[in-house]
Homo-oligomer: A and B are copies of this chain.
């Protein structure tokens, strides 16, 4: 126990990794540590990186992380994309390139790859980001694959969201129109040495003209992340957007939204614990069986459970 607090305070990445795992498992001792160290949070800036598979999101993230690290900044990366090289689902060349990141003392990578997070990937991501924030990260990247609606939205909870595309993704851009395009604060056309990069950039700009948000006009930047071309420009664009949201009050509102979600999650979690404690496994399975047999319905069953925990709550001490 003590080593994790100590490790977190001393910047030990092993302690950081362990604490995230403990929190994902819902362990109370992890929550206690987070509660005690909560005062240290608030310093991290969250950057979402999203886009279709194969456009080079990880390479761009790696390039950005390296620049921030060279400026002495501490960087966390949360990779929610199963096709990401961090997660092992990648070709060998990519994986070797990524290894450099793992040995950089300023960079910490957490893969949310293959563990089950059903209904909870966004929550797990939130907790991992919170713990990285406590650890003292200056920037936290959240990389998700921008095809599934819910995963795009996870990236969209970041302070600045970078939407990465590549030339020749005609259909994908079509698909992006469906409510997803609005999430990008900065657009990147990666692999810009390929045919059609300018055309893709023009299409994105046309779409932005159409869906124009008067207050913030996203830049569209051409990069070749593998050759490190244009990565600085992306960093500058992120910096400009950061200034914009800090000046306009968007930033503090996002922070408050995160806090509200966090409080509500904690309250719901605590109540769920009460339900589970107030109800034996046998009682729960009896109720489920009754619904399965058609003797009752889930609504009546839920009311019955709430009745049970009401008495439990009555007997509970709060402070």
- Seen from chain A, the residues whose Cβ lies within 8 Å of a Cβ on chain B are 31, 34-35, 38-39, 42, 52-54, 80-83, 87-91, 112-123, 144-145, 147-151, 153-154, 157, 171-172, 174-180, 252, 255-256, 259-260, 262-264, 266-268, 270-272, 275, 284, 287-289, 291-292, 294, 297-303, 305-307, 310, 313-314, 316, 318-319
Q: Told that A90-B175, A271-B271 touch, could you supply 8 new A-B pairs with CB distance under 8 A?
A: A31-B299, A34-B299, A53-B147, A82-B180, A118-B150, A262-B298, A310-B316, A310-B318
Known: A284-B260, A318-B306. A150 touches B153 (CB 8 A): no
Cross-chain contact B150 with A117 (CB below 8 angstroms): yes
Cross-chain contact A177 with B299 (CB below 8 angstroms): no
Bound Cα distance A157, B122 (Å): 18
> Nearest chain-B residue to A252 (Cβ)?
B292
Which chain B positions have C-beta within 8 A of A307? 318-319
Known: A52-B53, A122-B119. A83 touches B268 (CB 8 A): no
> Nearest chain-B residue to A34 (Cβ)?
B299
> Nearest chain-B residue to A266 (Cβ)?
B302
Known: A267-B306, A292-B252, A299-B38. A123 touches B113 (CB 8 A): no
Could you write out 16 A-B pairs with CB less than 8 Å apart?
Answer: A31-B299, A35-B297, A54-B171, A82-B175, A83-B175, A90-B171, A115-B179, A117-B153, A148-B151, A256-B289, A266-B302, A268-B272, A270-B303, A271-B271, A306-B318, A313-B313
Bound Cα distance A297, B32 (Å): 11
Cross-chain contact A89 with B268 (CB below 8 angstroms): no
| Interface residue from B113, B270, B306 paired with A270 (Cβ < 8 Å) | B306
